[in-house]
Structure 1
Amino acid sequence: MKEGNFTLEIRSFNKYNKMGGRTIVYRNAELLLPPKKKGVQRLKDPTPFKNPNHFKNRTRNIKLEDGEIKTIHIIFIIRFNGVLVQF
């Protein structure tokens, strides 16, 4: 595992039908940080970077081993690097 990578265990949830309960484990995930400068354009997307309001929405973007980017809700985290998370 590279430095800065972590393992997350989260609970799935579908907000449309209020169903969930499946446990998902993401290994060697990497936290994605927003660009330092405002108005930076993404590589393939011509629109400027917009603020995702992660703090307000309680979400974070992570990059998985295969390069896929996922948005997770921090309230559904069960374990972080094997340590039980308690709220």
Structure 2
Amino acid sequence: METETIFLRDVMETMRTLDQNGRAVPFSISFRTLNRQSKTGGKLKEYPEAKLVIKEENKNTDSIASLRYHKKQVKIRRRPNHWDNKTRNIKLPNGDIKKILINHIITFNGKKVVY
């Protein structure tokens, strides 16, 4: 019984792909949790449908309605430094955003991840 494998760099590339409308493509993922400060975790989390949080193209950003109703106060946030911390943010179908460590990904789209 042979299982399919995928390299981590291919996982990262597949996560970043966009469909023809400029939206993130959904994927299934499972990974282990870890709290680096308390050194606890190890729970297996599985999300059958998630998307990478990226700046998606929005063709209606310059429309009159969006300019009229969507004037929001800009929040100044800290840079997440995903590259240095080896993390990514994923969005779940219910709208929740979760931060994952890419080195703890177990499976991606049903394939075992190889480092």
TM-score by length of structure 2 reads 0.59
Unaligned runs of 5+ in 2: 1-18, 20-24, 58-70
1:10 matched residue in structure 2: 31
Percent identical pairs in the alignment equals 39
Query: Which structure's residues are more often helix, by fraction?
Result: 2
2 CA distance for matches of 1:44 and 1:72?
Answer: 28
Task: Name the larger-Rg structure.
Answer: 2
Residues 1:55 and 2:83 aligned together: yes
Segments of 4+ moved more than 2 angstroms:
43-46, 48-51
Cα displacement string for residues 18-74 of structure 1 (whole angstroms, at most 9, x for unaligned residues): 1222111012101011479xxxxxx76632455321111111111001110111110
Query: Which structure's residues are more often strand, by fraction?
Result: 1
Note the aligned Cα RMSD (angstroms).
Answer: 2.4
Change (3 A) 1:49 1:15: closer
> Relative CO higher for 1 or 2, CA cutoff 8 Å, sep ≥ 6?
2
Change (3 A) 1:45 1:27: farther
Question: Which runs of structure 2 are paired with 1:3-82 in the superposition (5 Å)?
Answer: 4-34=25-55, 46-48=74-76, 50-82=78-110
Unaligned runs of 5+ in 1: 37-42
